[in-house]
Chain A
Amino acid sequence: MQLKSMKNTSQTKNITVREKLALATCALLQTAGQSAQAADGWEVDSALMIYSESDSRVTAIEPIMSARKEVEEDTFLSMKLVLDSLTGATPNGAHTSGTAQTFTKPSGNGGYTVAAGENPLDDTFHDTRVAFSADWERPVLDNNSRMILGGNISNEFDYMSLGVSATFMRDFNERNTTLTTALGVNADTISPVGDVPTPFANMKTPGADLSLSRDGDSDNKTITDFMIGVTQVINRKTLMQFNLSLSSASGYMNDPYKVLTVVDNSGTRIGQVGDDLPYVYENRPDSRSRQVFYWKTVHHLTEDVINVSYRYHTDDWDVNSHTVDLNYRYELNGGSYLQPHLRYYTQSAAEFFAHNILDTQVATTQYASSDYRLGELNTTTIGLKFVMPMKGNSEFSIRAESIVQSYSKVNSSIGTLTGDAGSQDIVPDLDAFIIQVGYSFYW
């Protein structure tokens, strides 16, 4: 949301040569495609988003605010604060069964029962996240290069993430080409409720001794990202971007709250043995290497703007995905606009994804997870946004989006699709809805 330039939009029809030159000068001083910014004061964007999943799953209320200021000539300071309040229930990894299932809460104290035919959801789930980030951007070397130094911190009661990043951009070819290189490092610490479960240890009955099935009270992971990209002015109306990202993560990659159902060869859930419930905690590799190719084009039609992107993601967990995203900005009178949004995402399952695990495989399997997000899935998003200029150079926006995620049963060398996994709906669709209101202003 760039408010000052919205004035430009409404005035462009009768623009003079002098104004065109002024705009062109702005373009010279900025990255191609970026707008002119406020010279004084803070440019503030704020929004409140409500995200709600069907079937009493997750609901998130998320206020967000960002502020940007030109602190000295061509030097900008940006800050962003996000609060994220989550309630509801989330899948615990076990699959739907023809018989009722009883689970223990992550804390080890107390349990919950899931009825026959129901997707096992952990309804003790709740969280509050606070995230803050800041960027400092300034020219370096000469007028053709810029550097952005950034830092971010995100904190939940069981998770802490600290990160720094550096981005270097250089313009070539009369500022029609921008090369970008970026490096980011994140250090995360997870301190799960009920401590870190030992991989493939059984979920215990409520109140049981957990000391032999836990590996300390916290663990860490480090993520290093590198990106190289080029932004190119194709012609007077078209801008194109290509990015290649490499990411390397090492450390604790498990979801400490996810289990797999233990079944026999016929797919029947095994019985409780002592204080061991027939569910074992997942285990993922302790490293992950990802490559992402990203392409985006922004094209100006007569008045409207089309923004389309494609992303290909691949990694050494065998998760390959394609994402297509399309925004169409339809200009209305008086500087307002409507923006329909379409997004389609499809991914293959991680090589160690399985819906369950055989009792004979528990001792011999190195990695297994039934986290639905590592399975084969598609996500379809349809949305609409309306933006309206307000008095005092401010702007109001509202958007609504519908998200449908559907999953497929995956054949794996781990576990079996006979028994419950074959006869029950173990991959129910997820429907979610977003409603968001935004207000932008200068301060």
Chain B
Amino acid sequence: MKQVLLLLLTAWLLAACSTVQPWEKDLLARPSMALVADKLDSALDEHIYFSKEASMGGQGVGGGGCGCN
């Protein structure tokens, strides 16, 4: 619960700090500025590290589980 409150507080602080107008979003609209610039690379990497490490997730929910050895 504490973590959720911290996240909401962070969101509120960030929201308060700037307003970028629609006509100023030319750079933000570029594909290079996407949060996940290449979804295939991201999916392949997530699968590799899921198979080799004991942590997973962070960017979304679910996804194909596997009996990765």
Contacts and interface: CB of A to CB of B under 8 A. Distances in A.
A186 B19 CA distance: 39
Contacts, number: 268
A19 to B, nearest CB: 8
Contacts of B35: 33, 231, 239, 241, 296, 298
A373 interface: yes
Interface string A188-232: 101000000000000000000000000000000001011111111
A62 B44 contact: yes
A163 B11 CA distance: 30
B62 A291 contact: no
Contact of B39 (A5, A45, A188, A245): A45
Given A9-B30, A232-B11, A300-B27, A347 B62 contact: no
The interface residues of chain A, by DSSP majority, are classed as: strand
A230 B28 contact: no
Given A24-B29, A36-B29, A234-B14, A47 B59 contact: no
A35 interface: yes
Interface string A288-323: 001111101010100001010001010001010101
Q: Give chain A's interface residue range (CB within 8 Å of chain B).
A: 35 or more
Contact of A186 (B44, B55, B59, B65): B65
Interface in B9-48: 10-11, 14-15, 17-35, 37-41, 43-44, 47-48
A438 B38 CA distance: 11
Interface in A104-160: 125, 127, 129, 131, 133, 150, 152-154, 156, 158-159
A369 B18 CA distance: 50
B50 to A, nearest CB: 10
Interface string B48-66: 1100111111111111111
Contact of B60 (A49, A182, A236, A434): A182
A230 B61 contact: no
Contacts of A337: 32
A159 B65 CA distance: 9
A166 B49 CA distance: 24
Nearest to A296: B35
24 contacts: A6-B31, A9-B31, A20-B23, A24-B23, A25-B22, A33-B35, A129-B66, A131-B64, A159-B65, A167-B61, A177-B15, A226-B61, A232-B11, A233-B25, A234-B17, A234-B18, A242-B11, A291-B3, A292-B55, A300-B27, A305-B32, A307-B37, A345-B53, A373-B52
